[in-house]
Amino acid sequence: KAGVTQTPRYLIKTRGQQVTLSCSPISGHRSVSWYQQTPGQGLQFLFEYFSETQRNKGNFPGRFSGRQFSNSRSEMNVSTLELGDSALYLCASSVGGANEKLFFGSGTQLSVL
Amino acid sequence: QKEVEQNSGPLSVPEGAIASLNCTYSDRVSQSFFWYRQYSGKSPELIMSIYSNGDKEDGRFTAQLNKASQYVSLLIRDSQPSDSATYLCAALGGSARQLTFGSGTQLTVLP
């Protein structure tokens, strides 16, 4: 069974640009969550999608948005990039029920210059 | 106050020893707890999950949960150099369907 696939693996952008990251969950998984990991803040929850609906959202500004498609694939978008957005962005998938294990993708390393 | 706290590292143990990693959480409604291992430059990998009070063993790993004390721990027996990584404790539950992670404990197993 294929794991969670994230593309691209690395991205370099400049301040003010926008970026879209992609995540394909494990087959059969309907929940996709996004996390930001930085050395200073650790792993922080961005949002979760289930059946194309945002089910939960963390404390990030509106510049961070996402969506989920009917095949459960998800995209995350960051607009008007800031230097502080440089981070590893991780996608995790699960079947979607309560108290379930999350399986992470390899992440997208975003550098904002 | 961070909702999930892990004992400060880094932690070094000799090969073959028991490594003990600890975690406390502040949200009493948390129901599920997970330990992830993250190698440098890699994504977190789930190694243990625990939902009920008591111990849960899986090979060389034992997770312990005490909900009354809001305490979770991970024991790694017969530690190997390949266990050297950052271990992340995470809690799930309550009204928010999100994992709350601790800051991680960096473990080094010395050959």
What pLDDT shows up at residue B96?
58
Mean pLDDT of B9-17: 94
Residues of A with CB under 8 A from a CB of B: 33, 35, 42-45, 48, 55-56, 58, 88, 90, 92, 98-99, 101-107
Which chain A residues are closer than 8 Å to B93 by Cβ? 99
Instruction: Check if the beta carbon of residue A51 is closer than 8 Å to that of residue A30.
Output: yes
| pLDDT tens digit at each of 113 positions of chain A | 679 999 999 999 999 999 999 999 999 999 999 999 998 888 999 999 999 999 889 999 999 999 999 999 999 999 999 999 999 999 999 887 766 788 999 999 999 99
- Interacting residues of B4 by C-beta distance below 8 A, sequence separation 6+: B23, B24, B25, B26, B89, B90, B91, B100, B101, B102
Closest chain A CA to residue B33: A99
Taking an 8 Å cut-off on Cβ atoms, the answer to whether B51 and A99 are in contact is yes
In this prediction, residues B76-83 reach a mean pLDDT of 97
CA pair distance A27, A4, nearest whole angstrom: 9
Whether the CB-CB separation of A110 and A13 falls below 8 Å is answered with yes
pLDDT in tens, B22-72: 999 987 777 889 999 999 989 999 999 999 999 999 999 999 999 999 999
State the pLDDT at residue B53.
Answer: 94
Interface of chain B against chain A, CB under 8 Å?
31-32, 34, 36, 42-46, 49, 51, 88, 90, 92-93, 96-104
Chain B residues in contact with A55 by the CB 8 A cut-off are: 97
DSSP labels, chain B:
--SEEE--S-EEEETTSPEEEEEEE--TTEEEEEEEEE-TTS--EEEEEE-SSEEEEETTEEEEEETTTTEEEEEESS--GGG-EEEEEEEEETTEEEEEE---EEEEEE-
pLDDT of B97 higher than 80: no
